[in-house]
Amino acid sequence: MTVNIHCGFRCGRSVLSSCSLTLVGYRQIGITRRNIGNMPSKVHDVAAGGFAEGTNDIYDKARPSYPSSTLNLIHSILSPPNNNKPLTIIEPGSGTGIFSRLLLYPPTPDYPTFDNLETLIGVEPSKGMRDSWERGLEKVPTGFLPPDYRIGTVIETETGTGTGVESVTVTGNGNGSETPTPTGSGSGDESPSVKRKRVQVVDGGFDDFSKTGIQQGSVDAVIIAQAFHWCPDYSAALTEIARYLSPCSPLILIWNHDSPSVQLSVDLKEIYKLHDRGTPQFYRMTWKTLFDTEEYKQLYLPAEQGINTWTKGITEDQLIERIFSKSFLTKAYIDGEPRLKLEQQLRKVIQDSDKEWIDKEQGIFLYKYDTHHVILRKKP
């Protein structure tokens, strides 16, 4: 059975006036609800321990944000000129919300504003991360969140767009124990209502969006920032993501990485990677095995990849704090004398390195990052 769906998204390198979605496509490659189900894959032990409750606010403070160039690229994909279609975005591995907040408001004028963002749902298996995500929304200025948004209270969306999409009421504090409850007739007969955003984080994993309350096949983008290298089962994740994406819509993967063009970054990594316990860190590039899966080949168009290089001011203490926010370097895995010795070793490398000073008196120097993006569009 084939359903023709009209869409205005850029699919590959051409704009399609219509897309064909084959409903039996998943079965053709052996993917069924029976063998995938809603059972989330196991969270990596090091991630679970390193990002446990008590570490999350430190992570949120220490980690860098993302450059305006990457956000402008995403905006050009999701909000092209003359397209004001309300956006629904799912963000698996949403962590403490560092990327989520950039979708909600621009921190500086060079960042875009996603005016048409209507629904943003973070999906995060760590309760500590979810709690930090919600606390992080306190940093979002008034006017960029639903007017009645409060942590642990009710959030509503009202559609009335004539699309037949039901509105959703969500209660609770986002800890995953609540289930979004559809309301309304879904007939499309509701009267127009004030535009209201739905912003929430729920329990789940890369292969389990069941608690989002979002209709499958309706999502405009799935964005995963600084997280997909932790995915334990790319096949299951790519299947679940494709199940929720609308035809031609993108899965966008993003990673910040210390630029290898700077010797300081190279020298620091040579030290701390000795402690990474063989975990699938981005720099090990094991995440690229997703391109070998049948699910990628059957469900997605060829990936588009790129890098945006940028710099930010940082101090020695801030760089040390950022390095120790890595899962395998939290106190769950290295503490006491070994931790002290590692810190001393890292500090010596920083102190001996060549630097481009912003404010030498204050100890602020430029630090270079490469932000990688990978865009996989769901096949029509």
Q: Which residues contact 344 (CB under 8 A, 6 or more apart)?
A: none
The predicted model scores a pTM of: 0.78
**What distance in Å separates the CA atoms of residue 111 and residue 134, rounded to the nearest whole number?**
22
Give the pLDDT of residue 46: 54
Asked, for residue 265, whether it belongs to a domain, the answer is no
Q: Which residues contact 16 (CB under 8 A, 6 or more apart)?
A: 7, 9, 248, 380
Q: Identify the band that residue 56 occupies on the pLDDT scale cut at 50, 70 and 90.
A: low
Asked, for residue 264, whether it belongs to a domain, the answer is no
Domain of 201?
2-259+281-310+369-377
Contact present, 54 and 131 (Cβ < 8 Å): no
The letter for the amino acid at 183 is T
Number of separate domains in the chain: 1
Q: Where are the alpha helices (DSSP H) in 37-189?
A: 45-50, 56-62, 68-78, 98-104, 127-136
Q: Is the pLDDT of residue 67 over 80?
A: yes
Q: What number is the average pLDDT over the span 353-372?
A: 97
Give the pLDDT of residue 10: 44
Q: Which residues contact 188 (CB under 8 A, 6 or more apart)?
A: 161, 162, 163, 164
Asked, for residue 326, whether it belongs to a domain, the answer is no
Cα–Cα nearest to 43, from 98, 90, 93, 89: 93
Q: Is the pLDDT of residue 271 over 60?
A: yes
Asked, for residue 325, whether it belongs to a domain, the answer is no
The CATH number of whichever domain residue 241 belongs to comes to 3.40.50.150
Asked, for residue 332, whether it belongs to a domain, the answer is no
Q: Is the pLDDT of residue 52 over 70?
A: no
Instruction: Quote the percentage of the chain above a pLDDT of 90.
Output: 58
DSSP character string of 261-314: TSHHHHHHHHHHGGGSTT---GGGTGGGGGGGSHHHHHHBPPPEEEEEEEEEEE
Asked, for residue 350, whether it belongs to a domain, the answer is no
Q: What number is the average pLDDT over the span 342-348?
A: 97
The letter for the amino acid at 240 is E
The DSSP call for residue 178 is S
Asked, for residue 296, whether it belongs to a domain, the answer is yes
Average pLDDT, the chain: 79
Give the pLDDT of residue 108: 94
Tokens, residue 372? 């990688």
Looking at per-residue pLDDT, the higher value among 31 and 255 belongs to 255
Range in 56-60, 156-160, 195-199, 334-338 the model is least confident about: 156-160
Give the pLDDT of residue 31: 38
Instruction: Quote the percentage of the chain above a pLDDT of 70.
Output: 71
Torsion sign over Cα 192, 198, 202, 208: positive
Q: What is the pLDDT of residues 215-227, one digit of tens each?
A: 999 999 999 999 9
Q: What number is the average pLDDT over the span 210-237?
A: 96
Looking at per-residue pLDDT, the higher value among 367 and 2 belongs to 367
Q: Identify the band that residue 321 occupies on the pLDDT scale cut at 50, 70 and 90.
A: very high
Q: What number is the average pLDDT over the span 21-27?
A: 37
**What distance in Å separates the CA atoms of residue 60 and residue 124, rounded to the nearest whole number?**
15
Contact present, 44 and 287 (Cβ < 8 Å): no
